Structure 1
Amino acid sequence: MFSRRLFIQTCFASPLLLKSPAYGDTKIVTLSGEINASKLGRTLIHEHVLVDFIGADKINPNRWEHDQVIKKVLPYLLDIKAKGIKTIVECTPAFLGRDVKLLQKLAHQSGLQILTNTGFYGASDNKYLPSFALTETATELANRWIAEFKRGIDGTDVKPGFIKIGVNPGSLSDLHKKLISAAAIAHLQTGLTIYSHTGPAIPAFEQLEILKQSGVHPSAFVWVHANGSDEDFLKIAKMGAWISLDGIDDGNMDKNAKTISLLKSSGLLNKVLISHDAGWYKPGEPDGGAFKGFTTISDKFIPYLKSNGFKQKEIDQILINNPSQMLAIQVRKM
């Protein structure tokens, strides 16, 4: 049986209630190195530059040319910078097109702060997992991710700013349980926040249970592509996890605004994250295929929220304060 103290911590704790360094002292890791969390600025927490869907067994960085990608993508990054965005969190995992040298060039030329990730993506029935991920233990996988945090990615000095994993939408397979266990181990060694491509609530709750058993607080977990009932949103946010509404576009602004209003009315606006899950230069398609820009939030969704009673300080809570708290490097224990 839970103690009363543990029950309260599990249901209601947020990063602000945990023992942690003062806000101004916490760090966030970008492509260019560590910054104070207070310097993150207005942030899009889930976007993509390039994603290659060919599969882990076939992917090769020779499938794209940096100059061609930059020519296509840079104008979109300059556009959001002009609209006040300061930071973009690039969520493409290893074996799906993560290319930190390309991202370094784009960060330099755009003037944006960009974060990249470590971790492995098991969603889409493991198509994007390297073969060794099927046989290595959770500790062995975690050690790979910890090494990237300590020594850099792909022979560079670029270090990940968060952990990115992915699971299928149903109940977790043993392999996907291993991925979240590995993420827990890596979090406890690095303080990196865990982004998990999840979707429905069932695998979200199952992952949170594994994290709890591993001694990791829910505030280290981002429910990516959060999709559930009002009850699910409230329960997971009260546990302390982050609710990521990261597919905002013209067709779902009202739905997402209602979810945010629900969380706001319950005193949980400090657990809300928003982004577009946009971009997607696709190697193998002519000119990288159709590229979706990152401006719906700035141009349409923020005005929509304001027209529905949101104040500027609440917009800043969602786009500045919450990302800063969520991405801050700190070990978050139960």
Structure 2
Amino acid sequence: MRDGQARVMTVCGPIPADALGPALTHEHIVTDFIGAEKAPGPRYERERAVEEILPHLQALRQRGVTALFECTPRYIGRDVPLLRRLSEASGLHIVTNTGYYGAVGNRYLPAHAHEESEEQLAARWLEEWTRGIEGTDIRPGFIKLGTDRGPLPPLHAKLLRAAARVHLRTGLTICAHTGDGAAALDQLRILESAGVSPEAFVWVHAQNGTDAERIEVARRGGWISLDGYNLGPGQPERYLQAILALKTAGQWRRVLVSHDDGWAVEGETLRGAALKPFGNGNPRPYFSVFQRLLPDLRTAGCSPEELDQLLRENPARAFAIRVRAL
């Protein structure tokens, strides 16, 4: 690849951003909600996990999707050897992350996140970028944070400032699970004050805000991730309205869509735990966008070129890294 070429860092190494292809930008493979630092490692057999999950990734590949952004952070079950194994077996580009998740009352933050400075936290995340994650050579392709409703408490603001330091060194996009629109605007303020362009910020779970808030963040350059798409009562209509409102406002090029589907570790034992799909109202993982959302958008007048931009061009631009040291 040429120096200066925009790239995306996958679990199998960097690829040109324009080779990413159609992508789902907020999904999970396996998550473990036991709590920070309670489990020493995966509480399941990796080969069993591959057997259960791989057919769904192969089906996704058959639907034309070529990339999946895996948003499970450290201390909630991030398992990068499993991700690489599934990427190689399925042919999907899978992208993992660095960063910490402070939402849900800080349950998934390790003790040192409370005590360390933003410089120390940034150094931990930079270590994963420069040396690899947890003893592997797998590097993160974005930064994942989690905050509750706004305005942000000091601890969550510190996580944002640490992420800003990492972004300015690496070019990694900052994706922040966000409780509401007030939190999103606060995140954008903190990042801008640290010298981060809004174009490096993804408002994760932007469905939790209002049309006015989403349009404001998009107009300022942030990415609007409507990423909990599901077939629950009234949900397809809700997402369709939100996406069309952004389109009417001229912000189609700032929109990302996904399901937030995946599997969760079930049970509290440390050996042989089962995996249970969490579909958020979806009967099949990673399917509802194609089953319902895209047909609804076509019916609403969206062109094939616009749908291609939604799934192909927008993700590539949102997660492109433009640094020479890849």
Same fold (TM over 0.5): yes
Equivalent position of 1:61 in the other structure: 41
Q: In the alignment, which residue of structure 2 is the partner of 1:203?
A: 183
Task: State the alpha-carbon separation in 1 of the partners of residues 5 and 195 from structure 2.
Answer: 24
Q: What amino acid is aligned across from residue 306 of structure 1 in structure 2?
A: R
Secondary structure class of the residue paired with 1:276: coil
5 Å-filtered alignment, 1:177-196, equals 177-196=157-176
1:281 Cα offset (Å): 3.1
Separation in structure 2 between the aligned mates of residue 62 and residue 329 of structure 1, nearest angstrom? 30
Which residue matches 1:237? 218
Alignment partner, residue 49 of structure 1: 29
- Give the SS at the match of 1:216: coil
- Helix, strand or coil at the partner of 1:290: strand
**Structure 1 vs Structure 2 CA RMSD:** 1.5
Q: 2:23, 2:65 within 8 Å by CA — same for their partners in 1? A: yes
The alpha carbon displacement at 1:291 in A equals 4.7
Q: Relative to structure 1, is the Cα distance of residues 68 and 322 closer, same or farther in structure 2, using a 3 angstrom cutoff?
A: same
2:256–2:314 Cα contact (<8 Å) kept = yes
Q: In structure 2, what is the equivalent of residue 300 of structure 1?
A: 292
1:263 maps to 246
1:109-188 equivalences in 2 (<5 Å): 109-188=89-168
Alpha-carbon contact 2:33-2:264 (below 8 Å) kept: no
1:26–1:328 contact (8 Å) kept in structure 2: yes
Cα offsets for 1:22-55 (capped at 9, x unmatched):
9x92011001111000000000000001100000
* TM-score normalized by the length of structure 2: 0.92
Quote the offset at 1:212 in angstroms: 1.0
Structure 1 unaligned spans of 5+: 1-21
SS of residue matched to 1:25: coil
**Could you report, residue by residue, the CA deviation over 1:183-236 in whole angstroms, capped at 9, with x for unpaired residues?**
101100010000000031111111111111101111110000012222111111
The amino acid of 2:74's aligned partner reads A
Residues of 2 paired with 1:46 and 1:125: CA distance?
A: 22
Residue identity matched to 1:74: L
* Distance across 2 between alignment mates of 1:98 and 1:298: 26
Which runs of 5 or more residues in structure 2 are unaligned?
280-284
Amino acid at match of 1:300: R
Task: Indicate the SS of the match to 2:246.
Answer: helix
Q: Does 1:277 align with 2:270?
A: no
| Cα separation, 2, equivalents of 1:89 and 1:277 | 10
* Shift in Å, 1:182: 0.5
1:222 paired residue among 202, 209, 214: 202
Q: Which structure features the higher share of helix residues?
A: 1
Pick from 84, 90, 99: which aligns with 2:79?
A: 99
Q: How many equivalent residue pairs? A: 309
Q: Which residue type is aligned with residue 188 of structure 2?
A: L
- Alpha-carbon displacement from aligned partner over 1:291-324 (angstroms, at most 9, x marks no partner): 5310111222111110111111110111000000
| Partners of 1:289 and 1:233 in 2: CA distance | 32
Instruction: Give the deviation of 1:57 after TM superposition.
Output: 2.8
Q: How does 1:7-46 map to 2 (within 5 A)?
A: 25-46=5-26
Contact kept, 8 Å, 2:28 with 2:70, in 1: the verdict is yes
1:178–1:48 distance in 2 versus 1, CA, 3 Å: same
Q: How far does residue 283 in structure 1 lie from its aligned partner after superposition?
A: 4.2
Give the partner amino acid of 2:196. Answer: V
After superposing the two structures, state which structure 1 stretch, 144-153 or 37-46, moved more. 144-153
In the alignment, the residues of structure 2 paired with residue 202 and residue 300 of structure 1 have an alpha-carbon distance, to the nearest angstrom, of: 30
How far residue 63 of structure 1 moved from its aligned partner, in angstroms, is 1.3
Give the AA of the match of 1:37: A
Contact kept in structure 1, 2:25 and 2:256, CA below 8 Å: yes
**Which amino acid letter does the alignment assign opposite residue 59 of structure 1?**
A
1:63–1:283: 8 Å Cα contact kept in structure 2? no
